[in-house]
Amino acid sequence: MAVTTPAEVANPEIKALLSALTDQRDHVLGILEGLDDDALRRPVLPSGWDCLGLVRHLTLDVERFWFLAVFLGDEDVIASFEGLGDSWQVPADATAAEVLDAYRTAARDADAVIGAAAPDAPPAWWPADLFGPDYRLHDLRELLLHVITETACHAGHLDAARELLDGRRWLTLT
């Protein structure tokens, strides 16, 4: 897939949405900079998730799921979700660098799909068995807004986790 950056996208709406998504992805990666493997794997909230698990969730359940499976309809990606298990659980033999690199790769792959499509292009596949008959995203625009929202929400979760881990805050306006 050809890599696409927001600056390379011709459609102004997609360019703006992709720019917003890129900012949120940068936030996810930026708030984790400087944490060692132990800190990235340390749960700090009662729910028990850790920072690497959240990034793995963003990689698999967000970037790959929404853009490669749902929007593009890539049958290999769709099949990869069968038997996946809990995407929030990072395999013990996976390094932090591997998890973070997988997120970067998934974002680049998604950007190539996004940059080549029109805002009103419909998804190629819809997992009605996951969402029931009443929920559906109808076009790339809606998928992008959904993923921007989910990524921003999780970036906020990472902000809280980072502050609990070592006191660092991403951005504080006073």
- The distance between the two most distant Cα atoms of the chain, rounded to a whole number of Å, is 49
Instruction: Please indicate, yes or no, whether the overall pTM of this predicted structure exceeds 0.85.
Output: yes
Cα 96 to the center of its chain, rounded Å: 16
List the end-to-end C-alpha distance of the chain, in Å, as a whole number: 43
Q: Are 31 and 24 in contact, with CB atoms under 8 Å apart?
A: no
- Which homologous superfamily is 6-166 in? dinb family like domain (1.20.120.450)
| CA–CA distance, 34 with 125 (Å, rounded to integer) | 39
Per-residue pLDDT of the chain (174 residues; tens, 9 = 90+): 555 677 787 889 999 999 999 999 999 999 999 999 999 999 999 999 999 999 999 999 999 999 999 999 999 999 999 888 899 999 999 999 999 999 999 999 999 999 999 999 999 999 988 888 889 999 999 999 999 999 999 999 999 999 999 999 987 665
Q: Which helix (H) or strand (E) holds 36?
A: none
